[in-house]
Structure 1
Amino acid sequence: MTRYAIAGLSNRGVASFVRPILGSLGGADTALGYGENAEDYSEHADVVAVVDPDEARVTAFNESLLPPGHAPLAWYAPDDFDRMVDEARPDVVVVASPDHTHAAYVLAALRRDVDVIVEKPMVTTAADAAAVLAAEQASKATVRVTHNLRYTLRHRTIKRLILDGAIGRPTHVSLDYHVDIRHGASFFLRWNRRRELSGGLSVHKSTHHLDLVSWWLDDVPERVFAIGGRHYYGPDSPHRPRDENGAPLTGAALRDNDPYFQAQLGSNTFPDGAAADRVGLFGLSYGHQYPAGQDMYLYDDEIDVEDTYSALVAYRGGIALSYTIDFSSPWEGYRVTINGTHGQIETLHSRLPGGGALPGSDDITYRPLFGEARTIEVATVAGGHEGADPLLRHDLFVGPGRESLDLGLLADSADGARAVATGEAIWRSIATRELVDVEDLLTPPE
Structure 2
Amino acid sequence: MSTPVRTAIVGTGHRAQLFTEGLAKRDAYDVVALCDSNSVRMAFHNRMLLAAGRRTAHQWPPARFDEMLRVERIELLVVTSVDATHDRYIGSALRAGVRVISEKPMTTDEVKAQRILDTVRETGGSLSVAYNYRFNPVHRRVRSLLAEGAIGDVHSVHFEWMLDVSHGADYFRRWHRDKANSGGLMVHKASHHFDLVNWWLGAEPELVYGRGQLAFYGPGQQHGYARDYARAHASAESLDDPFALQLADNATLRELYLDAEGEDGYYRDRNVFAPGVTIEDDMALLVSYDTGATMTYHLTAYSPAEGYRVMFNGSRGRLELDVEESTFRTSITLRPLWSPPVDHTVEPDHTGHGGADPRVLAALLDNDPTQGADVADARQAALALVTGLAANRSFATGQPVRTADVLKL
- TM (normalized to structure 1)? 0.84
Map of 1:158 onto structure 2: 142
1:75, CA displacement in angstroms? Answer: 1.1
Equivalent residue in structure 2 for 1:287, among 243, 261, 269: 261
Equivalent residue in structure 2 for 1:3, among 6, 27, 31: 6
Map of 1:374 onto structure 2: 342
The residue type paired with residue 130 of structure 1 is: Q
Q: Is residue 2:243 matched to residue 1:260? A: yes
Q: Is residue 2:380 matched to residue 1:415? A: yes
Aligned residues: 400
Q: Secondary structure at the match of 1:363?
A: strand
Within 5 Å, give how 1:382-397 maps onto structure 2.
382-397=350-365
Map of 1:425 onto structure 2: 390
| In 1: Cα distance, 2:269 partner to 2:253 partner | 20
The residue type paired with residue 303 of structure 1 is: V
Q: Which shows bigger deviation, 305-314 or 424-433?
A: 424-433
Q: Deviations over 1:361-410 (max 9, x none)?
A: 412100112322111121122421111111110111110323x35xx411
Map of 2:402 onto structure 1: 437
Q: Secondary structure at the match of 2:166?
A: helix
1:76, CA displacement in angstroms? Answer: 1.2
| Structure 2: gaps (5+ residues) | none
| In 2: Cα distance, 1:332 partner to 1:289 partner | 35
Equivalent residue in structure 1 for 2:309, among 335, 338, 347: 335
The residue type paired with residue 276 of structure 2 is: E
**Contact 1:22-1:67 within 8 A present in 2 as well:** no
Map of 1:26 onto structure 2: none
Equivalent residue in structure 2 for 1:135, among 100, 107, 119: 119
**Contact 2:246-2:269 within 8 A present in 1 as well:** no
| Structure 1: gaps (5+ residues) | 24-40, 243-247, 262-268
| In 2: Cα distance, 1:294 partner to 1:324 partner | 27
Equivalent residue in structure 2 for 1:299, among 273, 291, 294: 273
Q: Secondary structure at the match of 2:212?
A: strand
**Contact 1:222-1:438 within 8 A present in 2 as well:** yes
1:439, CA displacement in angstroms? Answer: 1.8
| In 2: Cα distance, 1:421 partner to 1:310 partner | 16
Q: Is residue 2:326 matched to residue 1:347? A: no
% identical equivalent positions: 34
Q: Secondary structure at the match of 2:357?
A: helix
Q: Secondary structure at the match of 1:6?
A: strand
Q: Secondary structure at the match of 1:83?
A: helix
Map of 1:363 onto structure 2: 331
1:281, CA displacement in angstroms? Answer: 5.0
Q: Secondary structure at the match of 1:48?
A: strand
Note the aligned Cα RMSD (angstroms). Answer: 2.4
| In 1: Cα distance, 2:224 partner to 2:32 partner | 47
Q: Which shows bigger deviation, 220-229 or 370-379?
A: 370-379
1:85, CA displacement in angstroms? Answer: 1.3
